[in-house]
C-alpha cells in the first residue's frame, strides 16, 4: 500500500477551519431537527394513544408514511419538490428569499422523519404504563388531557429516556445525509478535504473520530440523566 501520510494537513489552514465549520453545521442541524422531532413526535405519539379513533388513525398514517420512504428520498423531496407543491407565493419565497435553504430543508426533513420514530417511542412509553393508572385518573374525575398532563406524560417520558438517547444519536448520524443537498456538515468537509488534498485517510479518520467522540459524550451525559430520571422501583433495568 503506497500512501503519503500527512496528518498535519488536518491542522493546516483552511482545512482545520473546514472541519470546525462542519462540526458547527452538524450540531446546528441535528439539534434544531431534534427540537422539531421531539415536539412533533410527542404530539403524534400521544395521538396514537388517545381513545378516539380519528387521531389514532392520523398518527398511524404519519408513522407509516415517514418510516417507509428512505430518508434520502425524503431529503430530495423536501429540497427539490416541496417548493413546487406549495402555493406559488410561498414557493417563490422558498426559492428566492428563504435563509439557508439547504439547512432549512435538511432540518425539516430530519425533524419530520425522526418524529415518526420518536412517536413510536412515546407511544410505547405511554402504553407500558399499566391501564389501571389511566382508569384511576379518570375515576378521580380528571379529564383526558389532565390524565396525560399529570399522569401519563410525566411517567411515560421518564420510562423512555434510554430509547430517546439513541433517537438523538440517530438524528445526529443521519444529519450526514444533508450533504446530498449541499449542507456543509462534517462529512461534506471531510470529503472536500479529500478532494483538495488527496489525503482521504486523514480526512475520513478525522470525521470518524468526531462522530465517535460526540456519541461518547452524549452517551456519558445521558447515562447521568438516566440515573436522575429513573423511576424508583419501576420496570426492569436496561439489558444493554
Residues that bind other proteins (CB under 8 A): 1, 3, 64-65, 67-74, 76-77, 80-81, 84-85, 169, 173-177, 179-180, 187, 190-191, 194, 200-201, 204, 207-208, 211-212, 215-216, 239
Q: Are 197 and 213 in contact (CB under 8 A)?
A: no
Measured CA angle at 32 (ends 28, 37), to 5 deg: 140
Least distance from C-beta 40 to other proteins, angstroms? 19
The residue (of 41 and 83) whose beta carbon lies closer to other proteins is 83
CB 84 → other proteins: shortest distance, Å?
Answer: 5
If the CB atoms of residues 151 and 187 are measured against other proteins, the closer one turns out to be 187
Query: CA separation (Å) from 126 to 2, 42, 83, 199?
Result: 57, 11, 37, 50
For the CB of residue 58, give the shortest distance to other proteins in the complex, in Å: 17
Least Å from the CB of residue 201 to other proteins: 8
Give Cβ neighbours of residue 20 (< 8 Å, ≥ 6 apart).
none
What residues contact 145, with CB distance under 8 A and at least 6 apart?
none
Considering beta carbons, is residue 144 or 165 the nearer one to other proteins? 165
Closer to other proteins by CB, 52 or 68: give it.
68
C-beta closer to other proteins: residue 13 or 88:
88
Cα dihedral 109, 112, 116, 117 in deg (nearest 10): 60
Place of cell 459524550: 217
Amino acid at each position: 500500500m503506497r500512501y503519503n501520510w500527512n496528518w498535519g494537513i488536518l491542522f493546516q489552514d483552511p482545512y482545520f477551519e473546514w472541519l470546525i465549520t462542519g462540526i458547527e453545521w452538524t450540531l446546528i442541524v441535528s439539534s434544531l431537527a431534534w427540537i422539531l422531532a421531539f415536539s412533533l413526535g410527542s404530539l403524534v405519539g400521544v395521538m396514537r394513544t388517545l381513545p378516539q379513533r380519528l387521531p389514532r388513525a392520523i398518527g398511524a398514517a404519519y408513522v407509516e408514511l415517514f418510516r417507509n420512504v428512505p430518508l434520502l428520498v425524503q431529503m430530495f423531496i423536501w429540497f427539490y419538490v416541496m417548493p413546487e407543491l406549495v402555493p406559488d407565493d410561498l414557493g417563490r419565497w422558498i426559492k428566492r428569499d428563504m435563509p439557508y435553504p439547504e439547512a432549512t430543508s435538511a432540518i425539516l426533513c430530519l425533524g419530520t422523519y425522526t418524529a415518526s420514530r420518536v412517536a413510536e417511542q412515546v407511544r410505547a412509553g405511554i402504553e407500558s404504563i399499566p391501564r389501571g393508572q389511566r382508569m384511576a385518573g379518570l375515576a378521580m374525575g380528571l379529564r383526558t388531557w389532565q390524565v396525560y398532563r399529570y399522569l401519563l406524560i410525566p411517567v411515560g417520558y421518564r420510562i423512555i429516556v434510554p430509547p430517546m438517547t439513541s433517537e438523538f444519536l440517530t438524528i445526529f448520524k443521519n444529519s450526514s445525509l444533508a450533504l446530498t443537498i449541499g449542507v456543509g456538515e462534517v462529512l461534506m468537509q471531510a470529503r472536500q478535504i479529500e478532494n483538495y488534498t488527496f489525503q482521504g485517510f486523514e480526512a475520513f479518520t478525522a470525521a470518524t473520530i468526531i462522530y465517535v467522540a460526540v456519541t461518547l459524550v452524549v452517551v456519558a451525559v445521558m447515562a447521568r440523566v438516566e440515573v436522575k430520571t429513573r423511576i424508583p422501583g419501576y420496570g426492569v433495568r436496561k439489558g444493554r
